Amino acid sequence: MTTEPLLQVNDLEVTYQSRGLRRTSFKAVAGVDLQVQSGETIGLVGESGSGKSTIGRAILGMAPVTAGRIEFAGRNITHLPRRDRRTLASDIQVIFQDPYSSLSPSLTIGDTLAEPLRASGASRTEASRRIGELLDLVHLPSDALQRMPREFSGGQRQRVAIARSLALEPRFIVCDEPVSALDLSTQARVIDLLIEVQRRTGVSYLFISHDLDVIRVMSHRIAVMYRGRIVETGDGEQISTMPTHPYTQRLLLASPLADPAAQRVRRKEFQQLPAAEFLESSDI
Ligand SMILES: Nc1ncnc2c1ncn2[C@@H]1O[C@H](COP(=O)(O)OP(=O)(O)OP(=O)(O)O)[C@@H](O)[C@H]1O
């Protein structure tokens, strides 16, 4: 028996238009297929500019989709009008990279968490019960509620951003480089938290990062992006041991956590790749 994916992306294309005097267009993503099941994390990895965030934004209705289809829980959400988008806010949420700019500096943590709940029509009592649950879920003390974002470290702010994204019990979260701005030990704690939240709530993640090691820890399945296309998919083991695309091999070589012996073998294989073949197969 196969279960319906929670999110299904088919043949997605996104084209940005420049607004200058000379109108030019740039195809940032093309031919992208993606499926995400309930409770699953799909990791999107690739170099800067490969189109990872564009896919996330297209799912959130924030990118100019020029072809293809995006379905969420069986509903076509590719070009939803703004007012219908709002009805999706409780199902699809986002966590951004920068915990310093993603929280309003003039709101207490309590008001930050209450905002989406009040907007969804929750009563004061319901909101304060839910805020208690959220603090518990992300391991923040209850005295955090009266404090301002500036009183918290980057990792703690990211916990607040995660709590806010969970307020309406979403089924799907786009995590766009959520740990890239944090130091290594804080990264590990936030990753542990996201995994624990998934275990407790069954939420699905599209987890975007340029760091293959972070992606391997987080993801059930990995999609490697290169120049606007997915060039390889597999689980962490497959991607690490049997990469087929030269760009994935390059990512593995750059991985600081890679086993040095395996890295030596890969480096040798990589050096034996004829340069022309590398360029040709990368040039998609
Ligand atoms: N609003 C926009 N208008 C025009 N071009 C854009 C716009 N947003 C992104 N792009 C271009 O689309 C391409 C893909 O960008 P995107 O942000 O999706 O890449 P990314 O893989 O997420 O990179 P990074 O890791 O640096 O965030 C880049 O070449 C970028 O310059």
Residues with CB under 6 Å of ligand 1 are: 16, 26, 28, 46, 48-54, 210
Q: How far is the CA of 113 from the centre of ligand 1 (A)?
A: 30
Q: How confident is the model at residue 2 (pLDDT cuts 50, 70, 90)?
A: low
Given a cut of 70, whether residue 91 has pLDDT beyond it is: yes
**Residue 218's pLDDT is what?**
93
Given a cut of 60, whether residue 261 has pLDDT beyond it is: no
CA distance to 92, 229, 235, per residue, from 165 (Å): 9, 28, 26
Q: How far is the CA of 209 from the centre of ligand 1 (A)?
A: 13
**Residue 281's pLDDT is what?**
31
* CB-CB contact of 9 with 33 (8 Å): yes
Mean pLDDT for the stretch of residues 55-63: 96
Mean pLDDT for the stretch of residues 272-283: 34
Given a cut of 70, whether residue 180 has pLDDT beyond it is: yes
Q: How far is the CA of 147 from the centre of ligand 1 (A)?
A: 35
**Residue 268's pLDDT is what?**
52
Given a cut of 60, whether residue 3 has pLDDT beyond it is: yes
Confidence check on the interface: ipTM exceeds 0.90, yes or no: yes
Q: How far is the CA of 27 from the centre of ligand 1 (A)?
A: 10
Distance CA 177, CA 181 (A): 8
- Name which of 120, 137, 62 is nearest 94 in CA terms: 62
Ligand 1, atom 16: closest residue by C-alpha = 51
Q: Which helix (H) or strand (E) holds 112?
A: helix 109-119
> Best mutation site among 17, 45, 53 for ligand 1, i.e. most ligand atoms within 8 A of its Cβ?
53
**Residue 182's pLDDT is what?**
86
* CB-CB contact of 100 with 153 (8 Å): no
